[in-house]
Structure 1
């Protein structure tokens, strides 16, 4: 039985999103042993996280011609191959090769959002579009939850390098699993397009990728709010396991389970919030309220209320639902207000600013922890900037972002 086009698109993009997330989020979970092997402080994992985000930014700024040339499914397969190469580099002692590997992982992961948006916006029924986008984006925390549950036992059973090679095997298998979807979903690729490789190093491509955000008056505000969310999310993803180990004395396996709870709650939160946004509309105001709620959840994490491990699990679940559960609604709203021909480019450009935040967030967090010796203060400052952006987004006119059903051509 042949699946409807939207279902084929969702299965393919959700599968790649989940495996990409599983592979990339395995790295911060391995932060303590990776840094210990390199003779570095645990918070130095922030440098690896920043380099991964730099790779994502590179992809989002310059990878549009590749997507046009090969189509979404083949582009996602290329991304998975880059992730496998990056993980292979990280399987060696951390040095320049390892940092380049982190960039490769980011470059491979960066294709997921624009390629997924390009195929889903054409295939998804409009009245369920936000829910479908949110289900696809739920692959990020689902993959993270799988990593949280599986990575620590793999390390304990096989050792650090063998665990990384197991993850690489899963990534390579996924490239083959999505191949059957390619013919149907890559029909609109431009097979005559040339010059995608030089575009990866072209400043002109970067400038054009940013200019497309002028296509709708609500896009700059949506982009800024997404970048603010990304700052906090990147810090939570990079440092939650290390924070649980250093501040609460839990084991690596326990920290992995805490991260799994955070990511699992995010998966459910993304789907529920996507459904709610489809029912209620007013996505920008919805995101503004969620920003304030996210900051409050992080504040709860670092207060004296969270003392035992069960309270830590509860806080992680609340943070997952709020601070990491925003992405599906945000991506769907970007796709809704964008001109149809520019959906992939606009999604990539907005995501580019988000991942710039993902670079500077962990770097700033690392510096703050080194300066103050306090993870709590660092988390509070990252949460405060998101709350401020949420308040600003709630009071500034949206420029028509919430006129439901509008479509530009």
Structure 2
């Protein structure tokens, strides 16, 4: 098959399985938190630890990617996820929640490694669509988790269900091995110890400095962080919200999340196709941000009117608030200098996942103080809408500077 097809297949498989494995955790929020002796909304702590692991990977994992190549790095990420899930499956109380850090570190490799593979192989005129198809693996994996995790728990129990997910991650690690010869040819091993770099503050500083490589990168990065705040809260708390505030069973909450994720998968592909034809990715993202906030407002207003209203609002939220990633990743890859694509996407992703840490923590704090999930969702939506409006002003000012007439 053509090289770009091999690249898309390999990255999409890993993206889907990584998403399935990591998103299974918030779906198991109530039983996991009950076993640890914590309140249901404490699943936000697990989400924050997962995002912290992703930030660690994105900030300091660049030398690992250069040393091993993107496919081998993706395999290492799957192994880390399996270890994290194993830790969560053990009756270790609060200590077991640290497995979320390993899950996040394993997940974090998908963005820079996948971008490095696709930017070198994807046909230029279809690049945004191809990035969006790869990113569609995130909601596809989430939808599969929503449909399969609850039946697995009912059939096998919580610990054995986690063992089954571990098995899927390890099998995928073996399945992508045949792609390595074709896609890891641009490795550049150096004398630098990638293991030492994982604990290096200098590596963190370098990862942030690359965002000066293009004038659009700071605004693009901030946009990703703002979107990530809302997305992480939706992906972390939707199942718990449906169970605790709308009386859904674990299985029905999983189906609601599956609808949200499937709608997001369709949204990512359609929006990527549209962005390839319309252009102006930043304006596209600003419009999508306003639409996302409106969709969350609709979820708050009518989500309690019955099951079909909840399913419909979840689908709308999926298309808008979780369908932005492909356009964002493709625009980052477009403006970054070619040798720096993986570094730029890592640095931008780092700030995005800092948002994914802060969002769930703030959400958990708001729910703890007010008892209201609706208020917490509203605050997260308003911050995204406000950032979109500010970005429109900035873009208009920049256009006027370039075209003073």
TM-score range, shorter-chain basis? over 0.9
The change in CA–CA distance for 1:67 and 1:263 in structure 2 (over 3 A counts) is: same
Normalization by structure 1: what TM-score? 0.96
SS of 1:383's equivalent? helix
Using the TM superposition, give the Cα deviation of residue 191 of structure 1 relative to its aligned residue in structure 2, in angstroms.
3.1
CA contact 2:75–2:173 (8 Å) conserved in 1: yes
Q: Distance in 2 between matches of 1:54 and 1:93?
A: 22
1:57-105 Cα offsets, whole Å, 9 max, x none, are 0000000000000110000000000000000000013534323210000
CA contact 2:85–2:162 (8 Å) conserved in 1: yes
Q: Distance in 2 between matches of 1:90 and 1:161?
A: 9
Using the TM superposition, give the Cα deviation of residue 295 of structure 1 relative to its aligned residue in structure 2, in angstroms.
0.3
CA contact 2:35–2:93 (8 Å) conserved in 1: no
The corresponding residue for 2:59 is: 61
By percentage of residues, which structure has more helix?
2
Q: Distance in 2 between matches of 1:275 and 1:126?
A: 13
Using the TM superposition, give the Cα deviation of residue 238 of structure 1 relative to its aligned residue in structure 2, in angstroms.
0.4
Superposed, 1:5-404 pairs within 5 Å as 5-304=3-302, 306-397=304-395
Q: Distance in 1 between matches of 2:342 and 2:71?
A: 13
SS of 2:186's equivalent? coil
Q: Distance in 1 between matches of 2:168 and 2:80?
A: 13
Q: Distance in 2 between matches of 1:196 and 1:357?
A: 26
SS of 1:302's equivalent? helix
1:30-67 Cα offsets, whole Å, 9 max, x none, are 00010111121100100000000000000000000000
1:290-320 Cα offsets, whole Å, 9 max, x none, are 0000000000001146410110000000000
Instruction: Kindly tell me the number of residue pairs found equivalent between the two proteins.
Output: 399
CA contact 1:289–1:394 (8 Å) conserved in 2: no
SS of 1:194's equivalent? coil
Q: Distance in 2 between matches of 1:305 and 1:40?
A: 26
SS of 2:38's equivalent? coil
SS of 2:192's equivalent? coil
CA contact 2:242–2:248 (8 Å) conserved in 1: yes
Q: Distance in 1 between matches of 2:145 and 2:97?
A: 21
Q: Distance in 2 between matches of 1:306 and 1:318?
A: 15
The change in CA–CA distance for 1:98 and 1:256 in structure 2 (over 3 A counts) is: same
Q: Distance in 2 between matches of 1:308 and 1:169?
A: 37
CA contact 2:246–2:304 (8 Å) conserved in 1: no
Of residues 218-227 and 387-396 in structure 1, the stretch that sits farther from structure 2 once superposed is: 387-396
The corresponding residue for 1:406 is: none
- Unmatched segments (≥5 aa) in structure 2: none
Structure 1 moving runs of 4+ over 2 Å: 93-97, 191-194, 397-400
The change in CA–CA distance for 1:304 and 1:276 in structure 2 (over 3 A counts) is: closer
- Unmatched segments (≥5 aa) in structure 1: 404-409
Q: Distance in 1 between matches of 2:146 and 2:302?
A: 25
Using the TM superposition, give the Cα deviation of residue 194 of structure 1 relative to its aligned residue in structure 2, in angstroms.
3.2
CA contact 1:127–1:278 (8 Å) conserved in 2: yes
Q: Distance in 2 between matches of 1:63 and 1:99?
A: 22
1:328-366 Cα offsets, whole Å, 9 max, x none, are 000000000000000000000000000000001000000
Using the TM superposition, give the Cα deviation of residue 192 of structure 1 relative to its aligned residue in structure 2, in angstroms.
3.9
CA contact 2:285–2:324 (8 Å) conserved in 1: yes
SS of 1:397's equivalent? helix
